[in-house]
Amino acid sequence: MYIIPAIDLRDGKCVRLIQGDYHRQITYHDDPCAQAKDFVSAGAEWLHLVDLDGAKIGHAVNIESIHRIAELGIANIEVGGGIRDEKSIQTILDMGAKRVIIGTKAVSDFGWFTQMAEKFPQKLVLGLDAKGSKVATHGWTQKSPQHLIEFAQSADKLPIAAIIYTDISRDGMLEGPNIDRTKALAEAVKTPVIASGGVRELADIEKLAVLPIEAVIVGRSLYEGTLDLKEAVTTAQKLSVT
């Protein structure tokens, strides 16, 4: 298991939303590139970039910040938020991103997502953000009737790189990840699973590292200082079962 620091972008700044609520924002850094460099110097090999403005309105907004981080060439990056057409996927990949995260459009138009997965094999990541057992869309502002594990199993047949599972109720709360549901999801599919939401401290990394998951995304705990990235990277490598 490896650690992926999150850089959530809104108005060109690094922020975090509490439980996905756009009215509950914490701003941490005015310079996303500087933040990216800090994370990489602490041992991160991947960076998780999310265009929060794009996720809400349905098209890329913070593309300049994403491009500048990609141009640094210092880490593998995965990008999500408002990517809902083929041109946007190609644009992000052409910038140098290793993976593109598709959430809302995958849930609302699975046929399109299937076509894109086949056109860009092992380049797409399915972003499943859930409120309880149900998938949420449109920057977490809408709840769908899709069941988390059932939808993941449908996507498991596609040539995608990974599935990111985010428990919205835990995201940004620093109350610990949803271990039980993360474990259930990872055991239900063959596609690599990446956990996200709720990590507060090293003990949470230790609990996740023994699950059959590929990675964990961490955000607010790094910005607030409740988790040391270097220590988390070392611990994940030492304890990981995958």
| Cα–Cα distance list, 93 to 42, 69, 89, 100, 189 (Å) | 25, 13, 6, 7, 26
pLDDT of residue 104: 85
Do 9 and 51 touch, CB atoms closer than 8 A? yes
Q: Are strands 215-218 and 193-196 parallel, antiparallel or unpaired?
A: parallel
Measure the CA angle with vertex 224, ends 7 and 69; round to 5°: 20
Residues in Cβ contact with 120 at an 8 Å cutoff, skipping those fewer than 6 apart: 89, 93, 100
Residue type at position 173? M
For 215, the enclosing helix (H) or strand (E) is strand 215-218
- Chain centroid offset of residue 110 CA: 19
Q: Are strands 25-29 and 13-17 parallel, antiparallel or unpaired?
A: antiparallel
CATH superfamily of 2-239: Aldolase class I (3.20.20.70)
Give the residue among 92, 75, 64 at the shortest CA–CA distance from 37.
Answer: 75
DSSP state of 199: -
Average pLDDT of each block of 10 consecutive residues along the chain (242 residues)? 95 80 80 96 97 85 94 97 94 96 92 98 94 66 72 97 88 80 96 95 96 95 94 92 56
Give the residue among 133, 134, 114 at the shortest CA–CA distance from 124.
Answer: 114
Phi, psi of 162, deg, nearest 5: -170, 170
Beta bridge partners of 48: 6, 78
pLDDT of residue 187: 97
Whole-angstrom distance, CA of residue 11 vs CA of residue 15? 9
- Sorted by where each begins, the domain ranges of the chain are 2-239
pLDDT of residue 99: 98
From the list 30, 94, 109, 129, the catalytic residue is: 129
Residues in Cβ contact with 215 at an 8 Å cutoff, skipping those fewer than 6 apart: 1, 2, 3, 4, 46, 162, 192, 194, 195
Task: Please say if 129 is a catalytic residue.
Answer: yes
pLDDT of residue 140: 46
Do 60 and 87 touch, CB atoms closer than 8 A? no
DSSP state of 174: -
What is residue 51's three-state secondary structure?
A: strand
Give the residue among 189, 174, 223, 208 at the shortest CA–CA distance from 8.
Answer: 223
Task: Please say if 204 is a catalytic residue.
Answer: no
